[in-house]
Amino acid sequence: MTATCTDPVVDEPVALHPERTEDARTLRWQVAGAPIGELCPTALDALVTEGVLTDVTVGRHHVDTTLQGELTWAQHGARVRDTVSAAVAALRAAGADRSLLDPDGELRRIAYDAIEQDVNPYAAGHGGGVALRGVHDGVVEVELSGTCRGCPAAAFTVQGRLLRRLKVEAPWTAEVRAVQSRRG
């Protein structure tokens, strides 16, 4: 039987860590492991319908939950935690979107976007370029071209611009490494 969002099958527990936010009614549940993408809308709907939660927001590695009015986390925290855990487990068991369960695939997409939208426009203004060459085990490999190759500021471009952005959007990024051209 294939798991669905409304039929959670929990083979292993989901590691969650609650963090406070600026709003005392909102807890951020950090989710360990591969990015979670989007949870099924029905997974936490019951808590919203019952008036326990007013808002649920899902990020790549977290779920923000906001309690209704005068309710307290002491009263409802365990139930919310268990519901978030079951929703993440159901998503992973169902394999709802395999690309979200592949950290290197997700990192490849994020790195490509960062290079095209942020790094290359900057590098092109200086007569250079950066190309994505590979991603494996959280390591992003890039090739420098034009004036970027051999430039003393290239390390700043790669480490300062690219790695800093990747660490924000893909915290599991281990390293950005410049590699030589594969062309003979």
Residues in the chain: 184
Name the residue with higher pLDDT: 169 or 7. Answer: 169
* Separation CA 157–CA 148 (nearest Å): 9
**pLDDT tens for each residue of 86-118:** 888 877 666 544 444 567 878 888 888 889 888
Domains located in the chain, CATH noted: 16-97 (3.30.1360), 103-178 (3.30.300.130)
Say if CB 133 and CB 141 are below 8 A apart: yes
Comparing CA positions, the residue from 145, 156, 151 lying closest to residue 179 is 145
* Separation CA 76–CA 11 (nearest Å): 25
Comparing CA positions, the residue from 85, 99, 93, 98 lying closest to residue 7 is 93
Q: What predicted TM-score, i.e. pTM, was given to this entire model?
A: 0.48
